[in-house]
Structure 1
Amino acid sequence: MARIVVVGAGVGGLATAARLAATGHQVTVLERAGTVGGKLGRYVRDTPAGAFHFDTGPSLLTLPDVFHDLFEATGAKLDEYLDLAPVDPIVRHVFPGGGPALDSCADPAEFAARIGAAFGDRAAADWQRLWRRAARVWQASHRDILRRPIDSPLDLAALAWRLGDLAAIGPGRTLRGLGRRHLSDPRLRMLLDRYATYTGADPRRAPAALVAVPYAELTFGGWYLRGGLGTLADALLTRCLDLGVVVRTDATVTRIDAAGGRVHGVRLRGVTAPIPADVVVANVDALTLYRDLLPSPRRLTGLTDRSLAGFVLLLGLTGDSGLAHHNVFFPGDYDAEFDAVFGHPGRGVRARPAADPTVFVTVADDPVVRPAGHEAWFVLVNAPRHGTATGAVDWRRPGLAEAYADRVLDVLAERGVDVRDRLVFREVRTPADLDDATGAPGGSIYGTAGGLLRPANRGPAHGLWLVGGSSHPGGGLPMVTLSAQIVADDIGPAW
């Protein structure tokens, strides 16, 4: 039985802790915040009409089998803890210039029919050809990448790729290029580009292999957890406690002791004596780990290429908007948005808030999260990370956040959804706020900007592992949960 310390109580940390405790290890989780969940945050606002509840992080659960596997591996059933509800449409896409919206769903034939009805038979046929390619990419990724350690580019190169898999993955090709090659309708290209932002990347630079992301979502479906996705953190915490895991909040780890090339424990702020450990699992951003907790300048290479961040409005509204659960309102010029969000550091062009951004609106039809006759809106806009570098924005600059919140509401009104006269309240969350709340450097949602190769799960010292969205296999609830499985399997059982 190993003494294991997990640094961070995000979904990856809690999932790893539960798996390791179920196999006989002595596990302690240390979390800097006062609550668990990490980026799976929550906010409650009381009003005379009643309480509004918001998820401030992920708003959609995909690949539900990953979570069923997690709970079964720890001796429980997912349905005993969480109430999953399928979402249809998964996303309602509203395109510039008017015209029909497009509702996505988890039935490929039905989705192709919806594309045909909205955009014509040629667009539907284009999508079906792309879909066959996406299936090959998904199968290769799921088989060879998502459930196994990938420690270096050599590991990827050494995989026994089938020739058909390599042709589908298209090494060196971008997601934007893939869309231009296969999709004649600009609205479908825009839809495909959006999935690069699921990994925090620019579709003009993101690898074509990310076509596996829409395939997974639109094959296995999108799901909502009644009561909000934050209930997943509650369920994982309960599972950990039932398995004997010690969970300490308000416990900030300041350093990992790794003298002699192996871990010995961690040090806490305000505590003199170190906490001994045979194994440390770091559920923190890889940049934070290698810059602050285990200073390793060599490992910082590539980690400063940060993913995009998010600017968020939490809106309490009167009435009923008639929107779907998830809605995307696209801009007239998608490239202008990416130019703004990422900037061009090499040319000295600073990042800035996009003037005409894509706006994501989540409206849960769940009486638990809003008073009767009201709606609780989570509004997200792609945004540059917080900071003073060329590729960042100082979101603490006086007046900026409120002015941009006004702009986002104006953009919604321009796109036919004017809620300014229905506001009960609004709360603003900037990338700087996410940095403060979760320790995500600059508020970057996914760590490094998207790609197939993330920081490895095995750390540079014996007994050190990385888990979570900034390490392999990437960000998003299912990927983070798969990273926990990879790490727990690598550490192995106590017996």
Structure 2
Amino acid sequence: MVIGAGVGGLAAAVRLAEAGHDVVVHERAATVGGKLGRYERDGFRFDTGPSLLTLPQVFADLGLGLDPVALDPVVRHVFPDGSVLDSSSDPAVFRERIENAFGAAAGADWARFWARAERIWAASWRSVLQQEVTPATLAALSWRVGDLAAIAPWRSLRGLGRHYLRDPRLRMLLDRYATYTGADPRRAPAALAAIPYAELAFGGWYLPGGLGVLASALLDRCAALGVRITTSSPVAGITTTAGRAAGVRLDSGEVVAADVVVSNVDAVTTYRELLPSPGRLAGLADRSLAGFVILLGVRGSTPELAHHTVFFPGNYNAEFDAVFGSPGTGVRARPASDPTIFVTRAEDPAVHPPGTEAWFILVNAARHGTDFGAVDWRRPGLAQAYADHILKRLAARGVDVRDRVLFAETRTPADLAESTAAPGGTIYGTAGGLLRPGNRGPVDGLFLVGGSTHPGGGLPMVTLSAKIVADEIGPA
């Protein structure tokens, strides 16, 4: 039994079916894919969730028949001083681009950082990302002194950047990768340097037709393997017998028995709402990013934009202070006045009519709620006012699209919370660093997959969580 047909749930269903299990999936929404959402309007097609595919080798053995296209640049970075840096998956090319943009010293700094990032990646891949991680298994890293020194659990990503990179623009570029896990770079572990290494060493990829194609491919693969998927079928609870998961109780009241339950629901929700005896998750950080999204249909072309373009703010710390709030000063979370603006614009005729472009704009945002570290995104007029503000800020950074907009749609953290049951609309689950909730649940026979659990958020990590769980369950 799998609860939730997000990428983690579907990938787990595929692997378990391949291992000979009879797999049933219940999904609360009317469609599959979870946060890998899609939206269509007037001939435009948008990915409303992930917009970049990395580590394509993680998907290779799922039998999905994907045909990803490599991106160059992977991301175009536009800095507050107007300088531009295009990232490349060829380390030599990227170093050359850094030297051309920022000077030889910056290129040499990046090369030193890159050597460290490679060590972090190798240690993480070998010791963390492919297996279940608990405090005990992390402690075992102390027997691999080289791995422990590389991962440096005592150091922050911000600290690592300051150690290796003198140019503030390269530090800003590195800081952004903390947001890939929903974290603040000032507090995120240095181990997250594995993320830029994975993205740049193995490339950034696009799926023609949009990344929603991945959900369709997983659905087709499930159908071919005989997996039964029921949509519009919310699960109200997980049933247990003698301390072991025994099935689920649907919203309809029906109880469905199962030998094993795999939850692709957010770990916090699984523990607190689905189990008959609500459990606690120790050591979790409540400070996790959400995102504010604008979907634009745009007339004409914008050649200065790459497939992915990031516009950095003048004060990155101020953005994180706004998004997470400042408990020490008593300042609540709020929409950032000068946020980092991430624009995705695919040159793919399948996603927009001729003579137009489909833009996906994402900015870091506080989660939805009414407490100190959240914003009430349902407040009347807020979403529209903030969308207008973001387009104004984008114009100030040299890309004024306001007179070319055919339509604009907003997606707030409140919308994501409603559509996917992600607490507060957080994108990557709880930002718990290396110690996210484990893949084994608090009762026997219950396993967790998805971005809220180990090894973390993002399409490849979610897919790895499914492999970890399927390997733990084993063949039928």
Q: Does TM-score exceed 0.5, indicating one fold? A: yes
Q: Does the Cα contact within 8 Å between 1:112 and 1:124 map onto a contact in 2?
A: yes
- One-letter code aligned to 2:81: G
Q: Deviations over 1:267-300 (max 9, x none)?
A: 1112x33001110000010011011101555423
Give the root-mean-square deviation of aligned CA atoms: 1.2
Query: How do 1:431-450 and structure 2 match up within 5 A?
Result: 431-450=413-432
Compared with structure 1, are the counterparts of its residues 218 and 40 closer, same or farther at alpha carbon in structure 2 (3 Å cutoff)? same
1:17 is the counterpart of 2:9: no
Q: Which residue of 2 aligns with 1:283?
A: 264
Q: Does the Cα contact within 8 Å between 1:286 and 1:303 map onto a contact in 2?
A: no
- One-letter code aligned to 1:401: A
Q: Which residue of 2 aligns with 1:200?
A: 182
Shift of 1:447: 1.1
Tell me the distance in 1 between the aligned counterparts of 2:254 and 2:194. Answer: 47
Shift of 1:493: 0.5
Bigger CA drift: 12-21 or 286-295?
A: 286-295
Q: Which residue of 2 aligns with 1:489?
A: 471
Shift of 1:7: 0.1
Tell me the distance in 2 between the aligned counterparts of 1:86 and 1:444. Answer: 28
Tell me the distance in 1 between the aligned counterparts of 2:130 and 2:462. Answer: 11
Shift of 1:302: 3.8
Tell me the distance in 1 between the aligned counterparts of 2:273 and 2:284. Answer: 13
Q: Which residue of 2 aligns with 1:34?
A: 30
Which secondary structure does the structure 2 equivalent of 1:20 belong to?
helix
Tell me the distance in 2 between the aligned counterparts of 1:294 and 1:302. Answer: 19
Aligned partner of 1:452 among 429, 434, 439: 434
Q: Deviations over 1:3-61 (max 9, x none)?
A: xx100000000000011011111100000000000000000012xxxx00000000000
Bigger CA drift: 164-173 or 454-463?
A: 164-173
Q: Does the Cα contact within 8 Å between 1:289 and 1:295 map onto a contact in 2?
A: no
Q: Which residue of 1 aligns with 2:60?
A: 68
Shift of 1:165: 2.6
Tell me the distance in 2 between the aligned counterparts of 1:161 and 1:34. Answer: 48
Bigger CA drift: 244-253 or 255-264?
A: 255-264
1:95 is the counterpart of 2:116: no
Q: Does the Cα contact within 8 Å between 1:196 and 1:450 map onto a contact in 2?
A: no
Identity %: 70
Q: Does the Cα contact within 8 Å between 1:62 and 1:220 map onto a contact in 2?
A: yes
Query: How do 1:306-455 and structure 2 match up within 5 A?
Result: 306-322=287-303, 323-345=305-327, 347-455=329-437
Which secondary structure does the structure 2 equivalent of 1:389 belong to?
coil
Compared with structure 1, are the counterparts of its residues 310 and 295 closer, same or farther at alpha carbon in structure 2 (3 Å cutoff)? farther
- One-letter code aligned to 2:291: G
Aligned partner of 1:105 among 73, 88, 98: 88
Tell me the distance in 2 between the aligned counterparts of 1:139 and 1:181. Answer: 20
- One-letter code aligned to 2:86: D
In the superposition, the TM-score normalised over structure 2's length comes to 0.98
Q: Which residue of 1 aligns with 2:102?
A: 119
Which secondary structure does the structure 2 equivalent of 1:258 belong to?
strand
Q: Deviations over 1:343-377 (max 9, x none)?
A: 12455321000000000000011000000000000
Q: Does the Cα contact within 8 Å between 1:200 and 1:450 map onto a contact in 2?
A: no
1:184 is the counterpart of 2:180: no
Shift of 1:171: 2.2
Tell me the distance in 2 between the aligned counterparts of 1:299 and 1:485. Answer: 25
Shift of 1:460: 1.1
Query: How do 1:229-244 and structure 2 match up within 5 A?
Result: 229-244=211-226
Q: Does the Cα contact within 8 Å between 2:155 and 2:190 map onto a contact in 1?
A: yes
Query: How do 1:205-244 and structure 2 match up within 5 A?
Result: 205-244=187-226
- One-letter code aligned to 1:67: F
Tell me the distance in 2 between the aligned counterparts of 1:399 and 1:57. Answer: 23
Tell me the distance in 2 between the aligned counterparts of 1:421 and 1:83. Answer: 36
- One-letter code aligned to 2:96: A
Shift of 1:83: 2.3
Tell me the distance in 2 between the aligned counterparts of 1:159 and 1:169. Answer: 10
Which secondary structure does the structure 1 equivalent of 2:116 belong to?
helix
Tell me the distance in 2 between the aligned counterparts of 1:418 and 1:161. Answer: 55
Extract structure 1 runs of 4+ deviating beyond 4 A.
295-298
1:85 is the counterpart of 2:69: yes
Q: Does the Cα contact within 8 Å between 1:287 and 1:304 map onto a contact in 2?
A: no
Which secondary structure does the structure 1 equivalent of 2:280 belong to?
helix
Which secondary structure does the structure 1 equivalent of 2:73 belong to?
coil
Shift of 1:179: 0.7
Shift of 1:170: 1.8
- One-letter code aligned to 1:12: G
Structure 1: 5+ residue stretches without partners:
none
Structure 2: 5+ residue stretches without partners:
none
1:294 is the counterpart of 2:295: no
Which secondary structure does the structure 2 equivalent of 1:266 belong to?
strand
- One-letter code aligned to 1:52: F
Q: Does the Cα contact within 8 Å between 1:94 and 1:329 map onto a contact in 2?
A: yes
1:263 is the counterpart of 2:255: no
Compared with structure 1, are the counterparts of its residues 450 and 190 closer, same or farther at alpha carbon in structure 2 (3 Å cutoff)? farther
Q: Does the Cα contact within 8 Å between 1:306 and 1:444 map onto a contact in 2?
A: no
Compared with structure 1, are the counterparts of its residues 353 and 336 closer, same or farther at alpha carbon in structure 2 (3 Å cutoff)? same
Q: Does the Cα contact within 8 Å between 2:281 and 2:437 map onto a contact in 1?
A: no
Shift of 1:303: 4.2
Q: Does the Cα contact within 8 Å between 1:286 and 1:455 map onto a contact in 2?
A: yes
In the superposition, the TM-score normalised over structure 1's length comes to 0.94
